[in-house]
Chain A
Amino acid sequence: MEKTPKWIDVGLIPLLNLLIAFVISGIVVLLIGENPVQAIKVMIDGALGSPYGWGYTLFYATNFIFTGLAVAVAYHASQFNIGGEGQATLGGLGVALVCLAFPWPHWSIALLAAMIGGALFGAAWAAIPAYLQAKRGSHIVITTIMFNFIGASLLNYMLVNVLRPRGSMDPATARFPKSTYLPTFHDMPLIGQFFGKSVPANISFFIAVLACFLVWGLIWRTRLGYAIRAFGRSESAARYAGISPVKIVMAAMLISGALAGLMAINNVMGTGHRLVLNSVEGAGFIGIAVALMGRNHPFGVFLAALLFGFLYQGGGELALETTIPRELITVIQALVILFTGAFDNMLRAPIESFFVARANAKKEA
C-alpha cells in the first residue's frame, strides 16, 4: 500500500483549500460590485504591507494562538471546548485584578503574576464544565457554551457593580498602573525602529510562541500528554490501561482553560490597559477555526493564527478603504473554515489517489 507524501497532506491540500476559499470570496466581492483584485490588494497592503499592519496582524494572531491552542489541547482529549470565549473573558478578569491589586514595581513581575491570574481564572472557568462532564456526563459542548454567556454576564456585573471606579459612567475598570504596561514591538531593541508608538503587538506574542512549544512538548513528550492522547483516541482502551477518565478530562480542560485565559495578557494587559466589556471580541470562537485548520498541532495553530490575524486586520482595512462591508470578512472566514475544515476530504481523496496512482506507475516502470 502506497502512502501519500507528507507535504501533500499538510502543505498542498490546505493551500488548495485556502485558494478555493479565496476564489469564492472573490466571486462574492464581484457580486457586490467591487473589484476582487483590488480588494485582495487592500487586504494584503493593510495587513502585511506596513509595520503598522503587521503590528495589528500579529496582535490578533497572538489572541488566536492562545485560543487555538486551548481548543487543540482539549481536542486531544476528545473534548470539544467551545468555551474559549468565556474562559478568555474570565482570564481578563483575573489579569485585571492582578494588575490593579497593587503598584507593581516592574512590568516583568506584573506579567508573571498576571499570567498566573489569567491562567487560573480561565482554568477555573473551564473546571466547572469539565467536572460536570467527567463526573456527571453533562456534555461539554453544551456546558461550555452556556458558560460563555454566564461569563459575559459575570463580567458585566463585576464591571458595573464592583470594579467600576467611583464616578465613572463607563462599565470598565480603572486604568492599570503604568508600571504594568507591557513592552510593545516599538519598545523592543532592533525591531522597535520599524514600529510606530501605537503598535498593539507586544511581548505577549513571544509568550504565545513559547506556549506553542510547551504545548507541543506536553502533548508529544510527556506522560500526561500520552495519557491525554490515548484517552482522546479511545476511551475504552484508556480504561483498560488504567488511565482515569476523570483525571484526564479535568487535566486537559484545565490546561485548555488556562491557555484561553492567558490570552488576556495580550488584549487586556498588553493594549487595553483596562478591562472593558467584550474585550475578547470573538477570539474564543476564532480559536475553534484556528485549531481546526491547524489540525490541532501547535505549529499548525501558529500558522492558522497568522492567517486569521491577516484576515482580521486586512478585513478591517477593507471596510475602511472600500465600500465592502466589514461583515464580508466574516464570510471569507466562514469560507476558509468551510473549505479547510468541513470540505477537507473533498480534495483529499482525489489528490491522494492521484499521487498513489503516480507512485504505483513509477514503481512499475
Chain B
Amino acid sequence: MSAADQTNAGRQATAALGAKEAATPAKVPAIELKGISKAFGTVQANKDIAIRVMPGAIHGIIGENGAGKSTLMSILYGFYKADKGEIWIKGKRTQIPDSQAAISAGIGMVFQHFKLVQNFTVLENIILGAEEGALLRPSLAKARKELKRLADEYELNVDPDEKIEELSVGHQQRVEILKALYRQADILILDEPTGVLTPDEADHLFRILDFLRKEGKTIILITHKLREIMEITDTVSVMRRGEMTATVKTSETSPEQLAELMVGRKVLLNVTKTKANPGDTVLEIEDLRVRDEDKVERLKGINLTIRAGEILGIAGVAGNGQSELLEVLGGFANGTGTIRVNGQDLDLTGKHSDGQSRRARGIAHVPEDRHHLGLILDFMAWENMIFGYHSDPAYQKNPLLMDNAGIIAHTASAMERFDVRPPIPTLPAKSFSGGNQQKIVLAREIERDPVLLLVGQPTRGVDIGAIEFIHKRIVELRDQGAAILLVSVELDEIFALSDRIAVMFDGQIMGERLPEDTNEKELGLMMAGVAT
C-alpha cells in the first residue's frame, strides 16, 4: 500500500505544476498534503485540501480573510490537529502533533506577528529553544559562526549582538528567518510577511527568498496581495471558504484571474474616479502632538489640511503614528496643538473631546480596527448600525426607551443600500464576513453625511469583491463635498483613492505628493524616513 502510494505520489509529482526542476522525473515533493480537513465546531475551516510543492519552489497560497489559509498552516506547524488527511514530507508520511515535530521535520515558520524576545540579543533569540547543553557559551559561539555563513550566503545581515527592540521590523523578520534556517529548516512558511514592511524592505525580503529558492529550499508564501504572488511565486493555490479552488502556474495566470478565483466572480481591481474639485478648507491640524501611556511622543508636531471634496491619503508603515492621529481626531486620545474643523477649534482634552462631541461636529470615523473599535461583534447588526449615534433623538421612542423597532427598520434599509449580505438586521455582527462587517460600519458613518470622514484601513481583511464597493462609496462621499482623511498601509489603496498623499514616519509628516507626480519607490523611501 505504501509502496503503491509512493509510486503514485511520484507519478503525480512528475505532473506537478510549476516547480522549476520538475523536469527530472520521479522527484519527490518537499511537502504534500492530502485531503486535509478541519472543522471548528460548526465551521469547516479546511475541506479536503491537497497541495504538492516541489523542492526549490516558491508556492503562494492566496485567499481572502477567513478562507482557511492560517488554519492550514497551523496544521502544518502542529498547532492544530487535522480531523482528516495526511501530511507527507519529502516522500514520507509524517505526523505533526506539535511544533517540535514540525521543526524536526524541517519546517520553519515565520509568523505575521513575530515571536521574539524583545530584550534578548539576536544571537540569544536564535538559540532560544535550540541550546545545546546547560552552558550557553558553546551554543552562542556556534550560532555566531553559523549566522555569519547565512548572512554571507543569503544577504541576511543582522548584527548578532543587537537587541531585538533596537531592530527595525524588517530586520526582526530576518531574525525570524534566521531562526528557522538555524534549525535546519528547508521548508519555510511565511504568513503575510510584507504586512509590516516598507516596499523597499519587501523587495529585500523577496531577494532573500529568491536566494533561498536557488539553494533548493521550499517556500510557502501566504498572502492576500496579488502583486506579491505574481512577482515571486512559481505556483499558486487559491483558497476560498475552506476549499482549495485552484492551483495554477503563476506564469500562466493574471491578477484578474486570481481575483476572480478568490471571490468567485469577476471584480474590478481599480475604481474609476474623476478629478477632485476641492472647496473650502475643512480640517486644519497645527503642531499636533500626542503622547501614549508611557509618555512616549507618538505624534511629533503634525501639520495637515484637507479641503472639502478632497481625499487626503496618509501612507506609511503601520505603527508610525497613523493610529494615534485617527484616535485624537476621533475623540479617544488626548493631544496638544490645534485642530480646527470648518474654522472652529476642537477640544483635544477634557469632557468635550470624546467621540460624542466629535460626532456632534460632523466628524464620522470608520476606524482601523472594526473588531475592537468599529463594531461590537456580539451585538446584532441593528445595534451596531446606531453605535456611537445611539443618543440621537431619532432613535428614541420616548425619553425612557429606545425605538428598537424603528432602528431595525432603518437598519434593514441601510443594509439594502450598502448591499450588506445577508440583509438581516438581527444577525450578530460576528456572523458577517469581513467585507459585510465593514459595509455596516461604512453605512453607519457615511449615511450621517459627515463634513469630515476619517477612514482607517478601509479594506483590511475585506474580500476583493467588497473593496470595489467600499472604494466607490468613499469616492461618492468625496464628490458630495466631504473632506476625507484616509489612512492605509496599502500603497495600492492610497494611489487608487487619494487626491493628495502625505507620508508619515515616526510620528511626523515626511512630505506631501500628488499621486500623479510620484511613484511607489519614492513613497517607499519617504515611508522609511530616508527621504522627504
Contact of A236 among B42, B43, B372, B388 (CB under 8 A): B372
Tell whether A237 pairs with B375 under 8 Å between CB atoms, given A242-B355, A242-B356, A242-B357: yes
Q: Once bound together, how far apart are the Cα atoms of A222 and B391, in whole Å?
A: 10
Interface-centre pick from A2, A222, A352 (highest chain B CB count, 10 A):
A222
Interface-centre pick from A3, A217, A242 (highest chain B CB count, 10 A):
A242
Q: Is B303 an interface residue (CB 8 A)?
A: no
Tell whether A240 pairs with B401 under 8 Å between CB atoms, given A223-B390, A227-B390, A352-B41: no
Binds A, one of B280-288, B376-384, B501-509: B376-384
* Contact, CB under 8 Å: A221 / B376: no
* Contact, CB under 8 Å: B374 / A240: yes
Q: Is B367 an interface residue (CB 8 A)?
A: yes
* Contact, CB under 8 Å: B402 / A241: no
Residue of A nearest to B331 (CB): A242
Residue of B nearest to A1 (CB): B42
Tell whether A242 pairs with B379 under 8 Å between CB atoms, given A2-B42, A237-B372: no
Q: Is B88 an interface residue (CB 8 A)?
A: no
Produce 1/0 per residue, A232-266, CB < 8 A to B: 01101101111110000000000000000000000
Residue of B nearest to A226 (CB): B390
* Contact, CB under 8 Å: A221 / B402: yes
Contact of A221 among B331, B383, B390, B401 (CB under 8 A): B401
Q: Is A97 an interface residue (CB 8 A)?
A: no
* Contact, CB under 8 Å: B372 / A234: yes
Q: Is A230 an interface residue (CB 8 A)?
A: yes
Q: Is A193 an interface residue (CB 8 A)?
A: no
Tell whether A239 pairs with B355 under 8 Å between CB atoms, given A2-B42, A221-B404, A356-B42: yes
Produce 1/0 per residue, B357-373, CB < 8 A to A: 11100000101000011
Contacts of B375 in A (CB 8 A): 237
A236 to chain B, nearest CB (A): 5
Q: Is A153 an interface residue (CB 8 A)?
A: no
Contact of B367 among A3, A230, A240, A243 (CB under 8 A): A240
Interface residues on A, range: 20 to 34
Q: Is A353 an interface residue (CB 8 A)?
A: yes
Q: Is B336 an interface residue (CB 8 A)?
A: no
Q: Once bound together, how far apart are the Cα atoms of A222 and B398, in whole Å?
A: 10
Contacts of A356 in B (CB 8 A): 42
Q: Is A229 an interface residue (CB 8 A)?
A: yes
Q: Once bound together, how far apart are the Cα atoms of A356 and B365, in whole Å?
A: 39
* Contact, CB under 8 Å: A233 / B378: yes
Produce 1/0 per residue, A1-21, CB < 8 A to B: 111000000000000000000
* Contact, CB under 8 Å: A242 / B359: yes
Q: Is A349 an interface residue (CB 8 A)?
A: yes
Residue of A nearest to B378 (CB): A233
Tell whether A240 pairs with B373 under 8 Å between CB atoms, given A221-B401, A226-B383, A229-B379: yes
* Contact, CB under 8 Å: A222 / B400: yes
Contacts of A227 in B (CB 8 A): 390
B202 to chain A, nearest CB (A): 30
Produce 1/0 per residue, A138-163, CB < 8 A to B: 00000000000000000000000000
Q: Once bound together, how far apart are the Cα atoms of A3 and B43, in whole Å?
A: 11
Contacts of A3 in B (CB 8 A): 42
Q: Once bound together, how far apart are the Cα atoms of A3 and B426, in whole Å?
A: 14
Residue of A nearest to B372 (CB): A236
A-contacting residues of B (Cβ < 8 Å)?
Answer: 41-43, 330-332, 354-359, 365, 367, 372-379, 383, 387-388, 390-391, 396, 400-402, 404, 431
Task: Pick 29 A–B contacts, CB within 8 A, sort by A.
Answer: A1-B431, A217-B401, A221-B402, A221-B404, A222-B401, A222-B402, A223-B396, A223-B402, A226-B383, A226-B390, A226-B402, A230-B390, A233-B376, A234-B376, A236-B372, A236-B373, A237-B373, A237-B375, A237-B376, A237-B387, A239-B332, A240-B330, A240-B332, A240-B374, A242-B331, A244-B354, A349-B41, A352-B42, A353-B41
B-contacting residues of A (Cβ < 8 Å)?
Answer: 1-3, 217, 221-223, 226-227, 229-230, 233-234, 236-237, 239-244, 349, 352-353, 356
Known contacts A221-B402, A230-B390; 15 additional CB pairs below 8 A are A1-B431, A2-B42, A3-B42, A221-B404, A223-B391, A234-B372, A236-B372, A237-B387, A240-B374, A242-B356, A242-B357, A242-B358, A352-B41, A352-B42, A353-B41
Task: Give the top 7 A-B pairs by smallest Cβ distance, nearest first.
Answer: A242-B355, A242-B356, A241-B388, A240-B373, A242-B354, A239-B332, A236-B372
